[in-house]
Copies of this chain bind each other. A is one copy, B any other.
């Protein structure tokens, strides 16, 4: 059985304040957090800065993990403790899966299955990337399709969904 608010999907555009909103959800829970960065450290400057920032700011109640690929496995391992799991972000995870030529749809199904069934609070941050013009680049189109499909899958199983713009959440579910 899932306890309390359970699972949350936080969508938003670039620099929309989605990560900050997700952190506020953690703060509001009154619990510690396992912060899961899907960035490969050192490859994304802004994300590296953000991770360092988290490490510096947070006390012993805030653990930072890096997991670019094995996200469903990490959730199985970490879920059910007394900490919120905050994953930031899913679109970077999809990029990593594509770069490794892994089966993205299968892995996304697995993630949705885990999120639907694991205990505790899981907050997933992801980029809304589908509201612009069709990209000319094939890989960008595939990426966009994978992201949209994952958001739909998660939209079905999570307890709450938010779309963030200008730092402000619109509640889509919950």
Which A residues are within 8 Å of any B CB, using their own CB? 9, 11-17, 20, 128-137, 140, 143-145, 147-149, 151-152, 154-156, 161, 163, 165-170, 172-173
Contacts and interface: CB of A to CB of B under 8 A. Distances in A.
Most chain B CB within 10 A, of A130, A148, A172, is at A130
A165 to B, nearest CB: 5
Given A15-B144, A131-B132, A166 B170 contact: no
A155 B133 contact: no
B128 A131 contact: yes
Nearest to A172: B168
Given A129-B133, A132-B131, A132-B132, A166 B152 contact: yes
A149 B144 CA distance: 23
Contact of A15 (B135, B152, B154): B152
Nearest to A147: B15
Contacts of A169: 172
B155 A15 contact: no
A15 B166 contact: no
11 contacts: A12-B130, A13-B129, A13-B148, A16-B151, A133-B143, A133-B144, A152-B167, A163-B165, A165-B172, A168-B173, A170-B170
